[in-house]
């Protein structure tokens, strides 16, 4: 197997990100540490992709990695708000940013490989978190500095991540519906492979169980992407004999799709069905009725991610940090008391 930067870092007794900074001859790394890492490179026969000579100026560039998707990433207001927060902080601190995405994971990995060879990006922000992600595996194995927006699934102790407490948020959203008298509550969300959706679903289940309400697996619908035409699973949920009186939705875009099905089937919101969703995006405000939604402070998530990645670029020996950004419930007209 080829020697990786992670192997060099382990032999030198430093973090992979520090070894990466040594490859770039970053002036913030001490001479002693540079010598230790370079000895390890020589001992293992490691050849850096891009070895600068002399004193290199820091490129001051952040790579923003969006999830692989032909188009969903650019349609989801969450990612746009996160990018706005990242750009705002980078602009204030003299950094530029570049967006990296692709139709699938292989396309993103190819782009990352080419970028890493150029040595022109100092750190990365991954705007999503999911289980068994080859993008994270690549960044970690190559010793590249990265920050995750979302709860880290792998390498948690070595990963800087920014997140909401999505379990608690999901629990409070369900408790909000329970307090309004709803006991037949469904969950509609993204695939549980995505960490935020898995956590929100877990919070929903906790709230039901704490209130003595049995969790009905038939009331849980998970979809790999936001549907455009094939809404069969949602239609089946709404056509059940014991149709739910309320639905907790993991994302405003899913809630918009749900509202469309309700209109087509003559189900009135909120008279027949109460809906609470997440993100408090533009979609939550322009629907009719407007959606009650959990505001997860998407812009602030981006700001905190940019702050952390820049801090770790300029102070490479910092330990991994976990930051929790608060959320708040925005009440509108999509939920009513159950009579």
85: left (phi over 0), alpha (psi -120 to 50) or beta: alpha
Output the CATH code of domain 57-164+300-326. Answer: 3.40.50.2300
Domains 57-164+300-326 and 166-296 share a fold: yes
Check if the beta carbon of residue 303 is closer than 8 Å to that of residue 87: no
**Whole-angstrom distance, CA of residue 116 vs CA of residue 69:** 22
Q: Residue 29's pLDDT is what?
A: 60
74 alpha carbon, distance to own chain's centre: 14
**Whole-angstrom distance, CA of residue 128 vs CA of residue 53:** 35
Q: Residue 53's pLDDT is what?
A: 44
**Whole-angstrom distance, CA of residue 36 vs CA of residue 12:** 6
Residues 6+ apart with CB under 8 A from 45: 3
At 232, list the tokens. 């069969």
Say what the pTM is: 0.83
Other CB atoms within 10 A of residue 88 CB: 13
- For residue 65, give the nearest of 89, 83, 84, 91 by alpha carbon: 83
Strands 246-249, 274-278: parallel, antiparallel or unpaired by DSSP?
A: parallel
At 146, list the tokens. 């990265």
For residue 152, which phi and psi values (nearest 5 degrees)?
A: -65, 135
1-56 domain in CATH 1.10.260.40?
A: yes
Q: What is the CA radius of gyration of the chain?
A: 23
166-296 domain in CATH 3.40.47.10?
A: no
Q: Residue 223's pLDDT is what?
A: 86
Check if the beta carbon of residue 295 is closer than 8 Å to that of residue 330: yes
**pLDDT tens digits in sequence order for the chain, 339 residues long:** 678 888 888 898 887 777 877 887 764 466 677 888 899 999 988 987 654 444 444 568 999 999 988 666 677 889 999 999 999 999 999 999 999 999 899 999 999 988 887 778 889 999 999 999 999 999 888 888 899 999 999 888 889 999 999 999 999 999 999 999 999 999 999 888 999 999 999 999 999 999 999 999 999 999 876 655 557 888 999 998 899 999 999 999 899 989 989 998 999 999 999 999 999 999 899 998 999 999 999 999 999 999 999 998 888 778 889 999 999 999 999 999 986
Domain layout of the chain by residue ranges: 1-56, 57-164+300-326, 166-296
């Amino acid at each position: 197997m080829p020697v990786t930067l992670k192997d060099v870092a382990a032999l030198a007794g430093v973090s992979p990100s520090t070894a990466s900074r040594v490859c770039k001859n970053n002036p913030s790394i001490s001479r002693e540490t540079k010598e230790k890492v370079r000895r390890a490179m020589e001992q293992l026969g490691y050849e850096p992709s891009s070895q600068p000579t002399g004193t290199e100026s820091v490129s001051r560039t952040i790579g923003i990695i969006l999830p692989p998707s032909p188009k969903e990433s650019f349609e989801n207001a969450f990612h746009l708000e996160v990018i706005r927060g990242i750009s705002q902080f980078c602009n204030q601190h003299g950094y530029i940013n570049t967006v990296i995405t692709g139709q699938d994971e292989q396309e993103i990995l190819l782009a990352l490989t080419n970028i890493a060879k150029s040595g022109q990006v100092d750190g990365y922000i991954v705007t999503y978190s999911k289980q068994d992600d080859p993008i994270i595996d690549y960044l970690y194995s190559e010793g590249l500095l990265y920050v995750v927006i979302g709860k880290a699934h792998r390498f948690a102790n070595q990963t800087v991540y920014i997140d909401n407490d999505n379990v608690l948020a999901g629990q409070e959203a369900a408790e909000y519906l329970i307090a309004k008298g709803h006991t037949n509550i469904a969950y509609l969300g993204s695939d549980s492979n995505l960490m935020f959706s898995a956590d929100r679903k877990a919070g929903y289940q906790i709230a039901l169980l704490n209130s003595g309400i049995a969790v009905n697996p038939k009331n849980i619908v998970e979809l790999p992407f936001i549907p455009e035409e094939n809404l069969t699973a949602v239609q089946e949920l709404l056509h059940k004999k014991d149709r739910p009186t309320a639905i907790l939705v993991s994302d405003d875009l899913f809630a918009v799709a749900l509202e469309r099905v309700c209109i087509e089937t003559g189900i009135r919101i909120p008279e027949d069905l109460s809906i609470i969703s997440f993100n408090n995006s533009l979609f939550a405000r322009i629907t009719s009725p407007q959606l009650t939604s959990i505001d997860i402070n998407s812009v602030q998530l981006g700001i905190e991610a940019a702050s952390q990645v820049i801090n770790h670029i300029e102070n490479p020996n910092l330990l991994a940090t976990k930051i929790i950004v608060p959320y708040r419930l925005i009440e509108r007209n999509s939920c009513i008391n159950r009579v």
